Structure 1
Amino acid sequence: MSIATTEHSVSRALLIAIRTPCVSQQEVDESLSELGRLVNTLGFSVIGAKTQRQRSTKQLSVLGSGKLEELATLTGESSASTDVSPEDEAQIELDQDELSQLLATSDIKGQANVVVFDCELSPNQLRNVEAALGVEVYDRTRVIIEIFSKHARTRTAKLQVEIARLNYLTPRLRDENSGDRERQKGRSISETVFEINRRRIRNQIAELRRELTKLQREMEGRSSGRVEQLTVALVGYTNAGKSSLMRALTDTEVLVEDKLFATLDTTVRTLQPPTQPRILISDTVGFIQKLPHDLVASFHSTLEEAKNADLLLYVVDASDENFTSQLAIVDHVLGQLNIDLDNKVLLLNKVDCLTEDQQLTLLELYPDALQISAHDKADVAFVHQEIQNLLEKKMCAACFDIPYTASGVMGEIHSKMQVIEEEYHEKGIRITLKASPIALERLHKMLQLTTF
């Protein structure tokens, strides 16, 4: 089994949700809507969705026999069994509003050649459902891993995703090979091939982990070099507009796409127009619910920039009707990382998509939040100034006498500190400045060494 999409034909996806007793219908609808966006991001067309109540998602057939028979009539590749012509196929590509409307109805637009479950399926469950439906079956985990694989750009991200992909793939390879062993019964060659393949994957994962550990140590070294710099981290749910704001605040070319997980790698740029001291802005990977277990570690490692930041810009897509539940998910993950949530500014982004009444309602609910549009230059300038104001409150004032023999430290001062006043005297410069406590302590030690 390989994790790859079919390039030569349009993948028409039917989404399946299982509602267990502990899950509300609203939660099912929100999760299905997000799954639809994930599937669209993967390049599939969503033709509809079905939901079934079950006590658990663990039963071998996943769904009841009646539901499987019903779904079997909605799946297949035969042109004779589909109502959708090639000319109409492009019309299946839906925007978010159309997708939400489709998922809220029982209409199925033609035949599906892919079925996607909004949960993780075991290898046996996948095999049983594929046998019953006669089409390829995805689970939510596979969809997310494929998106991560497509969007990872740095070596670190690629390694993290490949490890998760191989961990997902290994038990499914084992499941496929089990049939060969049954057919060959007394012969040991099938088992030998299986053991060889398993050992190869295990060795490959070990090698990837070694390389990843080495790269992460290098990243930690680079991060420690920025410990005295004032840093701001953009955090929030995927597709909230973080990258758009990042590009606007730093005046740099950062990838911006209206897709989930367009950004997987942490990007660090300087705030523009430049400030004194310089302020670094980092754009982090977006959050999502039901993140696959094997991607959790890599997801958290990319958020180390947020953990060490002086300020969090908590970006929310205020135009998304589910943004309150997304806020809860982000809060939960940040809490797991022991990130100080008192150190954040809530940015309600995309308010240009809201009516005036909706904006007033948000103002009542979140009086301390900033309502902005990342595409509005005035809003971006306001955020720029707010960053400076908030970080200045974290700085301490100090006065130093710097001898002319130690004038080399002036470059360090101007790049990392805010100079209030400089007075030139016979023996040196008396300088009044503001900086972080760490930067002030380091400057004090540097002056002790240079004047020793």
Structure 2
Amino acid sequence: MNYNLMQEVSAVVARNHLRRTPKHVREQHQVVDDGPERSILARLILPGHQVEEDPLEELHGLATTAGTQVVGELIQRRATASHGTYLGKGKVEELRLMVEKHKADVVVFDNELSAGQIRNLEQSIGVKVVDRTELILDIFAAGASSYESRLAIELAQLEYSLPRLKRMWTHLSRQAMGVGMRGPGEKQIEVDRRLAQRRIHELKQDLAKVERRRARQVAARKEAPTVSLVGYTNAGKSTLMNAMTDANVEAADKLFATLDTRTRRWQLPNWGMVLLSDTVGFIRDLPHSLVASFRSTLEETRQADLLLHVADASSPNVFEQISAVYTVLQELEIEEKDTLLVLNKIDAIRSPAVLNRVLDRYPNAIPVSAKSRKGISLLVESVGEALGREFLDLVVELDPSDGKMMAYLAAKGEVLSTDYDEHSVHIHVRMPAGAMGPLQKSAKSIRPAGVDRFDDASESAESDSPQSASPAVDAPTEVA
């Protein structure tokens, strides 16, 4: 990785941030203030848009997670967005007065704005303006800890910023036209754009290497069944993981508490060892560049045998949140995976009618409370049944001296019984189909459990055949 290039790109980002803060605001904030930024939330609701009970509740959570103190809110309903300022002229003036009244430092929009709209709003309001996409990227950047997630968020930020670079240097734009009159503004724009494009190219190469390495790691442990937790942010996935595996992973009541995939061993009753993964939470209108950048982080989800879609049943927007998760799964091209819908936080529901309303739409959903562990046993049983479609119930015949394969069966599956005779050991095991490769090379024979061994006449006939010189290995039969 080119360290000098990283330094240069960081300078580009710093210059962009400097430009994004109007001059008179920079002068007012030359004295360091340790307090959080004061923010005002704004949203334009257009016809046909889904409107929640509290239209700014989620944005409030995002702004708080980003470290700001929310001091005001503004909502406008309009037939179309203003081309120049997104909001109508009257609402822009109302927003300016709110900024002055509350001494706000930033206005956060629950919409995606163009570069020109952000510039015009900042000139009219007098403070920094941030749209929904930039806010989410900022939260991810603050919480990214692993090398992989830092690469992903840097790529997403640069791809978001690249189209906006042309707005960065208006204060350095050239004053005259013609040969020999090219001003420093144009040169700086081209330099910044070139630096950003070079860094984007490097990041994509680095992420491609990470994706290949992650794919190899996931494939290497494919002999064990994998279960992945997915769901809307703050639905309780980490708390549920702790309840089922005693993993003691961090579980915070905030949006995007988890950004890196975490995998833990889970001893599933009557099945054996299962790998359970907790992934980054999804959200409505998740930036496409962010989804693309985090594909390597979500490799566990893409390769999983079973998805546990965790939803917050106590949320008034539970239906919209479930739909948003399925939208992201479609972007990842994994919406057709075997999935169990888990309705979490039922302990926070005061009226049974609220839960019944969700169960009427999703009758196969599993209601649980990860916090009180209510319903966990039913969830574990359902996971076992779902994984059973990928498991084989077999009787394996091994040489008594093949201790390595006996240990392999115990590690990869659940040994139900072991019987010895004069020349062989017969092991009744339930194991994932993906772990059959090494077994087929070492076993004397493999047959489905419940199928009797060949009778003596058949064995005698086989012993007379030329092929009886080496032990036969029966092809495994999958159990429906």
TM-score by length of 1: 0.84
Q: How many angstroms does 1:143 deviate by? A: 0.3
1:334 aligned to 2:329?
yes
- 1:67 is aligned to 91
Q: Is 1:167 aligned to 2:159, yes or no?
A: yes
Residue-by-residue CA offset, 1:215-273 (whole Å, 9 max, x unaligned): 11111110001212111111111100001111221212212111111111111101157
Contact 1:374 1:380 (8 Å CA) reproduced: yes
1:12 corresponds to: 38
Superposed CA RMSD in Å reads 2.8
Please say if residues 151 and 264 of structure 1, whose CA atoms lie closer than 8 Å, have aligned partners that are also in contact: yes
1:47 and 2:71 matched: yes
TM-fit CA distance, 1:160: 0.6
For 2:169, what is the secondary structure of its paired residue? helix
Among all aligned residue pairs of Structure 1 and Structure 2, give the percentage whose two residues are the same amino acid: 37
How does 1:189-228 map onto structure 2 within 5 Å? 189-228=184-223
1:12 Cα shift?
A: 2.0
Contact 1:400 1:431 in 2 (8 A): yes
> Could you tell me which amino acid in structure 2 is paired with residue 410 of structure 1?
M
CA contact (8 A) 1:2 1:169 kept: no
Using the alignment, how far apart are the partners of 2:127 and 2:137 within structure 1? Answer: 20
Q: Relative to structure 1, is the Cα distance of residues 63 and 389 closer, same or farther in structure 2, using a 3 angstrom cutoff?
A: closer
Residue segments in structure 1 that go unaligned for 5+ positions in a row: 77-81, 83-109
The 3 A distance-change label for structure 1 pair 69 and 18 is same
The corresponding residue for 1:21 is 47
CA apart distance, 1:187: 4.0
Letter of the aligned partner of 1:422 in structure 2? Answer: T
Aligned to 1:401: 397
Q: Which residue of 1 aligns with 2:300?
A: 305
Q: Is the 8 A contact 1:317 1:323 kept in 2?
A: yes
- Please name the residue that 2:224 is paired with: 229
In 2, the alpha carbon distance for the partners of 1:23 and 1:345 equals 29
Q: Which residue of 2 aligns with 1:434?
A: 430
Of the three residues 345, 353, 357, the one matched with 2:340 is 345
CA distance in 2, matches of 1:111, 1:275: 61
Larger mean Cα displacement after TM superposition, 168-177 or 283-292: 168-177
d(CA) in 1 for partners of 2:439 and 2:250?
A: 37
One of 127, 130, 145 as aligned partner of 2:119: 127
Whether the aligned pair in 2 keeps the contact of 1:30 and 1:322 (CA below 8 Å) is no
Question: Could you say which structure has the larger radius of gyration?
Answer: 2
Q: Cα gap change, 1:57/1:15 in structure 2, threshold over 3 Å: closer, same or farther?
A: same
Change (3 A) 1:427 1:10: same
Q: Cα–Cα, structure 1 residues 7 and 172, in superposed 2: closer, same or farther, change >3 Å?
A: farther
Listed as ranges, the gaps of 5+ residues in structure 2 are: 1-15, 22-31, 445-469, 473-480
Shift in alpha-carbon separation, 1:190–1:159, aligned structure 2, 3 A: same
Pick the aligned partner of 1:2 from 6, 9, 17.
17
Residue number in structure 2 paired with 1:262: 257
> Do the aligned residues in 2 keep the contact of 1:233 with 1:305 (CA within 8 Å)?
yes
Q: Shift in Å at residue 446 of structure 1?
A: 4.3
Q: Give the partner amino acid of 2:47.
A: P
CA offsets 1:405-441 (integer angstroms, 9 cap, x no match)? 4331112111111222211122231122222222234
Q: Structure 2 vs 1, CA of residues 382 and 210 (structure 1 numbering), >3 Å: closer, same or farther? A: same
Deviations 1:305-332 (A, max 9, x none): 2232222211111110000111111122
Distance 2:434 2:72 in 1: 56
In structure 1, the residue matched to 2:29 is: none
1:240-319 correspondence runs (5 A): 240-272=235-267, 276-319=271-314
Kept in 2, the 8 Å contact 1:315–1:348? The answer is yes
Q: How far has the Cα of 1:115 moved from its partner?
A: 0.8
Counterpart CA distance in 1 for 2:135 and 2:288 is 13
Task: Identify the residue that residue 6 of structure 2 maps to in structure 1.
Answer: none
Q: Distance in 1 between matches of 2:108 and 2:370?
A: 33
Give CA-to-partner distance per residue, 1:360-406, whole Å, 9 cap, x none: 54444443222211112453344334433432353122222111343
Contact map agreement 2:234 2:254 (CA 8 A) in 1: yes
Shift of 1:131: 0.5
- Stretches (4+) displaced over 6 A: 3-7
Deviation larger for 417-426 or 180-189:
180-189
In the alignment, is the contact (CA less than 8 A) between 1:406 and 1:451 conserved in 2? no
Per-residue CA shift, 1:98-117, capped at 9, x if unaligned?
Answer: xxxxxxxxxxxx34321111
> What is the aligned length?
418
Which shows bigger deviation, 152-161 or 353-362? 353-362
* TM alignment of 1:15-164, pairs within 5 A: 15-23=41-49, 26-27=51-52, 32-57=56-81, 59-76=83-100, 82=101, 110-164=102-156
How many angstroms apart in 2 are the aligned matches of 1:30 and 1:451? 70
CA 1:365–1:257 in structure 2 vs 1: closer, same or farther (change >3 Å)?
Answer: same
Tell me how far apart the structure 2 counterparts of residues 335 and 171 of structure 1 sit (CA, whole Å): 26
Counterparts of 2:112 and 2:433 in 1: how far apart (Å)? 47
2:17 partner amino acid = S
Distance change >3 Å, CA 203–CA 365, structure 1 → 2? closer
Aligned 8 A contact 2:149 2:294 in 1? no
Residue 407 (structure 2) aligns with: 411
Q: Distance in 2 between matches of 1:324 and 1:433?
A: 41
Aligned partner letter, 1:149: A
Cα distance change, pair 161–239 in 1 and its aligned pair in 2 (3 A):
same
Query: TM-score normalised to the size of structure 2?
Result: 0.80
User: Distance in 2 between the 1:428 and 1:155 partners?
Assistant: 50
Distance, in Å, in 2 between the alignment partners of 1:189 and 1:133 is 28
Instruction: Note if contact 1:156-1:216 (Cα within 8 Å) is conserved in structure 2.
Output: no
Distance change >3 Å, CA 184–CA 38, structure 1 → 2 = farther
Aligned to 1:99: none
Q: How many angstroms does 1:129 deviate by?
A: 0.5
Q: Which moved more, 1:275-284 or 1:137-146?
A: 275-284
Q: Contact 1:422/1:429 (CA < 8 Å) preserved in 2?
A: yes
Q: Give the distance between the partners of 1:118 and 1:269, measured in 2 at CA.
A: 36
Following the alignment from structure 1 to structure 2, what is the Cα–Cα distance between the partners of residues 446 and 301?
A: 35
